[in-house]
Chain A
Amino acid sequence: MAENRYSLDFEKPIMELERKIEELKGLTAEEGLDLSEEVSRLQSRLRKLEKDILSHLTPWQKVQLARHPNRPKSLDLTELIFDDFLILHGDRLYSDDQAIVGGLAKLGEEKLVFIGHQKGKSIKENLFRNFGMAHPEGYRKAQRLMNLAEKFNRPVLTFVDTPGAYPGIEAEERGQAEAIAANLERMSQLRVPILVIIIGEGGSGGALGIGVGDKILMLENTIYSVISPEGCAAILWKNQEKVKEAAKALRLTSKDLLNLKLIDEIIPEPVGGAHRNVEQTALNIKKAIIKHLGELKRLSPEELVKKRYEKYRRIGRFKRG
């Protein structure tokens, strides 16, 4: 990850210590000094520091971690998880949205249809991917792929990672709201299993547009929210300094959502976050996919649709008078 030295404020002490360890290792190699004792002492300090910092993150720090530029994006993970992946393009109506990728995937013996938001890691990539913010075409491409999955009786796996659906003039004119709504309906009726995993940022309706499923999982340091903390702070408090409070109030961390029974499971991340060990992250996700798809495959299409309806039917908290 040498090319990606970006770090968040609370990651700086970790980065500092890592640099020190590298330095000592360098000295060992160049000068022939035996500093192995010092190195291993610092390494155990590093592990402790990582654990300390990462286990006490505030909701706002989790937001930053979920949006971390170095965090593995959909295609980084599919590369490590799938044995084969044939990417398919276009919505057959207008264009091919680069903010949503999808295609035919193979995971061991399991054949499935994959759909995911795709953010970039650099400015250039992000401009190409529109920062993972899809236009209606992206949602319509996704629906085309869902229909393929149903036709060939393959489960659907989606990765959610978006700040939200793109708020732009053309997106509105081509029916952004309708494109998302159509997917919500389609996903509620799809006669094959749907597994949804939040791998970064779950931004409101834009996330939900490929996020209705039988099981909803979240990576440990991801968020899912009805509005960005920035948007919430602006509307409710008219003050950007309140974004930390907004992040807390919105209950957007994986733990919050599990407690609220809105998701089914949290996938653990390596110490320091998904970006600190992408291979381990991919492996954890892969295990979860195999487990959940295995369970869901036992259900008939009728059972799947019925259970999915009941799952969403139950969501809501109110007082009965």
Chain B
Amino acid sequence: MGWFERTYNRIKKKGKKTIDIPHGLWTKCTNCSQLIYNKNLEENLRVCPKCNYHFYLGVRERIEITLDKNSFNEYNFKINSDDPLNFPGYKEKLSKNEKKTGLDEGALIGEGKIGKIPITVGVTDFRFMGGSMGSVVGEKITLVIEKAMEKRHPLLLISGSGGGARMQEGVISLMQMAKTSAAVAELKKEGLLYISLLTHPTMGGVMASFASRGDIILAEPGALLGFAGPRVIKQTIKQQIPKGFQQAESLLKHGGVDLVVERSKIRSTLIRILDFTLS
């Protein structure tokens, strides 16, 4: 959360006199520093009214603004992360992330309706260990793809994953890329629609598997999207990275996504796509 959103409880006013702002009432825009009243920010779907910066949106909120009201039913498979490698600090990190986010893992799957059209949906949550794909996230994404095939519904996967793989699960995590991709391939063979929505950030193993292979790919404005992280690239090429590199708009220019869509237009865009593919 700290990367994207900082709530300040003390700020300086023009006349050097400090004023107290109750914590949690205001949010300072990460991009333009504008102070935004939280209620206004929520009403604006967590998009800065001044500069259009798209703030992070949690999985539940994402479902709420994308799907028809109260149409979502979560698939409850009840699977939780194990620590197969006995990796130093992993168990502690998992329970810390559970407490911090109130989520049991980095992905939420289920079914619902968009514009009254039934759809299966999977969302990865950046807040839970960076939205990285360990066994549970890989399994959930695979399960939701299989559900889409079973029900013959279109599939919407909404990604937000900083690093992609979860290194604490080693090659087991890496293989989730192969597993989810195999499921995507099966889905396509069945002739079912798969829409991928890329949100900030979608990188690494998630981007190099299911996320970049939708029949139609949408991205939110300003989202960082790519394979290697900017830090790694900078270290490798020993040069400055051009402005806007790996941002959704740059991918649009280079042919990597179909559309960059403002948050407020995502739902209506999805309805237009779904309508096109329905017989």
Contacts and interface: CB of A to CB of B under 8 A. Distances in A.
A289 interface: no
B245 A226 contact: no
A317 B139 CA distance: 9
A101 to B, nearest CB: 22
A316 B135 contact: yes
B186 A181 contact: no
Interface stretch (A42-50, A169-177, A272-280): A169-177
Nearest to A213: B178
Which of A165, A177, A227, A249 has the most chain B CB atoms closer than 10 A to its own CB?
A: A177
B227 A172 contact: yes
Given A172-B227, A249-B88, A178 B80 contact: no
B190 to A, nearest CB: 12
B178 A212 contact: yes
A315 interface: yes
A276 B189 CA distance: 47
Contacts of B88: 236, 245, 249
A245 B88 CA distance: 10
Interface stretch (A18-26, A116-124, A145-153, A182-190): A182-190
Contact of B254 (A173, A188, A249, A308): A173
Query: What is the interface residue range for chain B against chain A?
Result: 35 or more
Nearest to B79: A318
Contacts of A227: 165, 167
Nearest to B135: A316
Contacts of B167: 226-227, 232, 235-236, 250
A174 B171 contact: no
B156 to A, nearest CB: 17
B213 A182 contact: yes
Given A171-B227, A319-B81, A185 B185 contact: yes
B170 A250 contact: yes
A130 B142 CA distance: 35
B205 interface: yes
B3 to A, nearest CB: 15
Interface in A256-310: 257, 260, 262, 308-309
A188 B207 contact: no
Contact of B237 (A169, A189, A204, A232): A169
Which secondary structure characterizes the binding site on chain A? helix
A227 B245 CA distance: 23
Contacts of A108: none
A259 B177 CA distance: 20
B175 interface: yes
Contacts of B241: 169
B117 interface: no
A221 interface: no
Contacts of A318: 79-82, 135-136, 139
A188 B181 contact: yes
B198 to A, nearest CB: 10
Interface in A223-254: 224-227, 231-232, 235-236, 245, 249-252
Contacts of A171: 227-228
B208 A181 contact: yes
A187 B82 CA distance: 28
Contact of A167 (B138, B209, B228, B245): B228
A172 B207 CA distance: 11
Given A184-B182, A250-B85, A226 B170 contact: yes
B246 A226 contact: no
Contacts of A208: 174-175, 177-178
Given A205-B227, A316-B139, A188 B174 contact: no
Contacts of B249: none
B170 A317 contact: no
Contacts of A165: 208, 227-228
B72 interface: no
A133 B85 CA distance: 27
Contacts of B175: 208, 262, 312, 315-316
A294 to B, nearest CB: 24
A281 B231 CA distance: 38
A32 interface: no
Contacts of A260: 84-85, 170-172
A172 to B, nearest CB: 5
Contacts of A92: none
A185 B182 contact: yes
Which of B183, B227, B245 has the most chain A CB atoms closer than 10 A to its own CB?
A: B227
Contacts of A308: 182
Given A177-B226, A189-B189, A317 B233 contact: no
Given A236-B88, A313-B183, 9 more contacts: A169-B242, A180-B208, A185-B213, A186-B185, A189-B182, A224-B171, A245-B88, A260-B85, A315-B178
26 contacts: A167-B233, A175-B255, A176-B226, A176-B228, A178-B208, A181-B209, A181-B213, A185-B182, A185-B188, A189-B189, A205-B204, A212-B181, A226-B169, A226-B170, A235-B167, A245-B88, A252-B170, A257-B171, A309-B182, A313-B179, A313-B183, A318-B80, A318-B81, A318-B139, A319-B81, A319-B82
Task: Give the top 4 A-B pairs by smallest Cβ distance, nearest first.
Answer: A167-B228, A184-B181, A188-B182, A316-B135
Interface of B: 78-82, 84-85, 87-89, 135-136, 138-139, 142, 164-167, 169-179, 181-186, 188-189, 204-205, 207-213, 226-229, 232-233, 236-237, 241-242, 245-246, 250, 254-256
